[in-house]
Amino acid sequence: MTSTALSDNLAPVAFMDLGTQRDRLRGKIDAAIGGVVDHGQYILGPEVRELESQLADYCGVAACVGCASGTDALLLPLLTEGVGPGDAVFVPSFTFVATAEVVVLTGATPVFVDVDEATHLIDLMSLEVAIADARELGLTPRAIIPVDLFGQPADYAAISAIAKEAGLLVIADAAQSFGAQQGNQRVGKLARITATSFFPSKPLGCFGDGGALFTDDEEFAARLRSARVHGAGIDKYDNARVGINSRLDTIQAAILLAKMTIFDDEIAARQRVASNYDTGLGDCVQTPRIVKDNASAWALYTIVTPPRDRLRGGLTEIDIPTRVYYPTPLHLQPAYSHHPTASTGLAVSERLASQVLSLPMNPYLDGAAQDRVIQAVRDLIGSFS
């Protein structure tokens, strides 16, 4: 059967199906929001504390600190550690801009690192080169922000070894990987500091912006809590340090508590979709490579294929949505192109940007929709030969 025939009289496939999840949880979410409205503690109310406790227990860490966004979750540790002008922070170029943006906001310098061809995660050799390059430029290496791209954890054991040797802080950018595991440890436990996002499209998403930080360092967590409320000391009028306004909204915390009740079920459903895609597409495009002992959260299912743009156009014609994450590496973006890069180049980041394509991925993508996507991709790739 052709992809055109498959699309006849069928509704468009949902790329991220938040509507079905909303309907599944409508009663719980309505009650959660109503509870906040009733008690009226809209800022750092009891739901925020309960969510932080549940999330810390879920990840097996000592502390979780909620904040206003995933971007703030990356910024707060840098502020807390006093990272600033003259310092270098190492970030992969193939990622969303927030990873580098927070570095610039502190006055520090992002140094762009390449990613691995197969996993799209930070390349360790490129990282080591970049650290040496930064020193030659007169910068002081201070931190590494690995990105768990598309939902798979980076190699934190190896990254932490490099960081220890160079005296660097590791801040895991887990915006896409909350719910993933490495061995028997969940994301949140893998680095000294882990930042995640609750943007609606993330594996665990709220109804607006939100984020959180995870750590086993209670003293660091206390400083993060201070930094999220203008650097508060004894109270918000006692300013112990420079901070920002980054409090997780109580209503969003209440919504996240409702979503936590089905989170593991949704992660398992994402894994089933990914496994089906792997089986159906593995012989015609480059499918995601998950490292042994890693379990992805499958925020996105991203293939690599040279005729990316032709494939995307063909899928659009038959109502199968796709996304490109990310069309331009950060070191080629106008706002960031003047910052240093690893001297060995970022060829993989540049190549991936022209070849990656994310297919529909959500826990509510039924078997018929999955088969439709698989058949359409196979038909189109075959037609390009």
List, for residues 134-143, the tens digit of each pLDDT value. 999 999 999 9
Beta-bridged to residue 196, according to DSSP, are 212
Query: Residue length, the chain?
Result: 385
- Decide if pLDDT at 383 tops 50: yes
Rounded CA-CA distance 120/296 in Å is 13
The confidence score (pLDDT) of residue 3 equals: 46
pLDDT, tens digit, 9 for 90 and up, residues 187-240: 999 999 999 999 999 999 999 999 999 999 999 999 999 999 999 998 889 999
The confidence score (pLDDT) of residue 364 equals: 97
- Decide if pLDDT at 7 tops 70: no
The confidence score (pLDDT) of residue 1 equals: 41
Q: Confidence class of residue 5 from pLDDT cuts 50, 70 and 90?
A: very low
Half-sphere exposure of 194 toward its Cβ, with a 13 Å CA cutoff?
29
* CB burial string 270-282: b at 16+ within 10 A, e below: bbebbebbeebbe
Mean pLDDT score, 80-103: 98
Query: Cα 309 vs. chain centroid, distance in angstroms?
Result: 24
Task: Give pTM, 2 decimals.
Answer: 0.95
Tokens of 270: 């994402």
Domain 3-8+263-383, architecture per CATH = Alpha-Beta Complex (3.90)
The confidence score (pLDDT) of residue 12 equals: 79
pLDDT, tens digit, 9 for 90 and up, residues 269-290: 999 999 999 999 999 999 999 9
pLDDT, tens digit, 9 for 90 and up, residues 31-63: 999 999 999 999 999 999 999 999 999 999 999
pLDDT, tens digit, 9 for 90 and up, residues 15-31: 999 999 999 999 999 99
Rounded CA-CA distance 332/315 in Å is 28
pLDDT, tens digit, 9 for 90 and up, residues 114-128: 999 999 999 999 999
- Decide if pLDDT at 9 tops 90: no
Rounded CA-CA distance 305/299 in Å is 20
- Decide if pLDDT at 252 tops 60: yes
- The boundaries of every CATH 3.90.1150.10 domain in the chain are 3-8+263-383
The confidence score (pLDDT) of residue 11 equals: 74
- The boundaries of every CATH 3.40.640.10 domain in the chain are 23-114+122-260
For the chain, the helix, strand and coil percentages under 3-state DSSP, each to the nearest 5 = 45, 15, 40
Mean pLDDT score, 151-156: 98
Closest to 94 (Cα-Cα) out of 75, 113, 119, 111: 113
Q: Confidence class of residue 6 from pLDDT cuts 50, 70 and 90?
A: very low
- Decide if pLDDT at 4 tops 70: no
The confidence score (pLDDT) of residue 236 equals: 83
CATH number, domain 23-114+122-260, options 1.25.40.10, 3.40.640.10, 3.40.50.1950, 3.40.50.720: 3.40.640.10
The confidence score (pLDDT) of residue 8 equals: 55
Rounded CA-CA distance 133/341 in Å is 8
- Decide if pLDDT at 13 tops 70: yes
